[in-house]
Amino acid sequence: MNPIRPPALRPGDTIGIVAPASNIQPELLAQGVSELESLGFRARSDPGIDAVERYLAGPLARRSREFHRWMTDPGVRGVFCARGGYGSGHLLPGLDLLSVVSAPKVFCGASDITMLLAALGKAGLVVFHGPMVATTLRLGAAGYNRDIFERLLIHGEAVHFPTGGCEVLAEGRAEGRLTGGCLSLIVSLLGTPWEPDTRGSLMVLEDIGCRPYQIDRMLTQLRQGGKLDEVAGFVFGEMPDCSQNEAQGYTLQEVIVEVLGDLGVPILYGFPTGHSARPNVVVPFGVRGRLETAGDAPRFELLEPAVTMR
């Protein structure tokens, strides 16, 4: 399937903000809106975006209606998620993918939003694993990589991603279609209609607060399920708080190599996307990229633009 690229964002465009998962703090959302406006966009959201129902941003009907409203509004150029948390998976059975894909636009989120990224990606839409309005965008340059954001989403460049501070776990060179997201969410999609197609892909995987044995278990499940048989390479995130304890005597990197090392593909670790202490880097899923981990410095880059300049 040829990727369906959304049009690039332009100054003056309207960005719709959605909360398909956990409930938000309005003051944090307001800070993120200010950041979007500083980039030249007009940010809009529904009056009920601050609804609360247990740990969710209101009932399913509200969240689903909001998502479809902004994803199909012809006057909206992009849709950004307010935050992750939990609850995006509730929307999947009722997604009107035909309507959404027929009018493609930039859709950006991470963490629990991996569920929606996977569903839209499986329908052919290029989607964006990146900063969210009430979490990392609100922090400005300290929260997300503005340079990559603008070059990728506004100027339509096939960017070279920053790899400083990353660690090579396995050397090699590979090309493939980018896919992935939060590891625990990807595993939760196994056996569903929205299970990602990983064949020939470069998988970008990240998570937070998981013990090394849990990372081992999830990677092992993906491998035993055949989901990693044809993966061309791996880019792992920073994986914050993914240790057992300070004196555990081993590293998460060693665990990853033990599970995946014999696949003979390049593995990069510590890339700042999703849950990250460093400025968050937006990564498009659905377009081709290249990963090179041999030589003096690792290289991770796009081979084609993720948006169209129309």
Q: In the listed set 98, 133, 153, which residue is the last one of a domain according to the structure?
A: 153
In contact, 63 and 19? CB cutoff 8 Å: yes
Based on the fold, state whether residues 220 and 256 are members of the same structural domain: yes
Q: Are 134 and 191 found together in one domain?
A: no
Q: Answer whether residue 121 is part of any domain.
A: yes
Please indicate, yes or no, whether residues 298 and 230 belong to a single structural domain of this protein.
Answer: yes
Give a yes or no: residue 8 inside a domain. Answer: no
pLDDT band at 247 (very low <50, low <70, confident <90, very high): confident
Cα separation values, 123 from 8, 65, 184, 192, 254, Å: 19, 20, 21, 14, 35
Q: What is the C-alpha to C-alpha distance for residues 122 and 71, in angstroms, rounded to an integer? A: 16
In the listed set 153, 181, 198, which residue is the last one of a domain according to the structure? 153
Could you confirm whether 53 is annotated as catalytic? no
Residue 275 annotated as catalytic: yes
The C-alpha atoms of residue 149 and residue 284 are separated, in whole angstroms, by: 11
Cα–Cα distance measured from residue 144 to residue 132, given in angstroms and rounded to the nearest whole number:
9
How far is residue 70 CA from its own chain's centroid?
19
Do 135 and 173 belong together in one domain?
no
- CA pair distance 92, 31, nearest whole angstrom: 29
Check whether 138 has a pLDDT greater than 90.
yes
Q: What's the CATH number where 211 sits?
A: 3.50.30.60
Q: What is the pLDDT of residue 244?
A: 84
Q: How many folded domains does the chain comprise?
A: 2
pLDDT at 1 over 80: no
Q: Quick one: pLDDT at residue 267?
A: 98
Q: Are residues 174 and 253 in the same domain?
A: yes
From the list 22, 45, 88, 111, the catalytic residue is 111
Looking at 64, 129, 184, 206, which residue is catalytic? 206
pLDDT of residue 73: 96
CATH number at residue 48: 3.40.50.10740
**Is 186 found in the same domain as 56?**
no
Based on the fold, state whether residues 145 and 164 are members of the same structural domain. no
Over the stretch 259-293, which tens digit does the pLDDT of each residue have?
999 999 999 999 999 999 999 999 999 999 999 99
200 part of a folded domain? yes
pLDDT of residue 52: 96
Active-site option among 22, 184, 275, 276: 275
Written as six digits, the tokens of 302 are 């796009």
The answer to the question of residue 32 being in a domain is: yes
Same domain, 192 and 144: no
Query: Are residues 166 and 215 part of one domain?
Result: yes
In angstroms, the CA 153 to CA 78 distance is 10
Determine contact, residues 45/192, Cβ cutoff 8 Å: no
- Sheet with 201-206, strands from edge to edge, namely 160-161, 299-302, 288-292, 173-182, 201-206, 233-237, 267-271, 167-170
Whether 55 is covered by a domain: the verdict is: yes
- Whether 181 and 295 map to the same domain: the answer is yes
* Beta-carbon contacts of residue 121 (< 8 Å; ≥ 6 apart): 127, 179, 196, 285, 286
Q: Residue 119 sits in which domain range?
A: 14-153
Residue 266: inside a domain: yes
Tokens representing 223 are 């491998």
Q: Are residues 142 and 244 in the same domain?
A: no
Whether 129 is catalytic is: no
pLDDT tens track for 96-126: 999 999 999 999 999 999 999 999 999 999 9
In this structure, are 147 and 171 located in the same domain? no
Report in angstroms the alpha-carbon separations of 15 from 20, 259, 266: 16, 41, 36
Residue 139 contacts residue 38 (beta carbons within 8 Å): no
Considering the domain boundaries, does residue 184 fall inside one? yes
At 212, list the tokens. Answer: 């090394």
Q: Which of 101, 131, 153 is the last residue of a domain?
A: 153
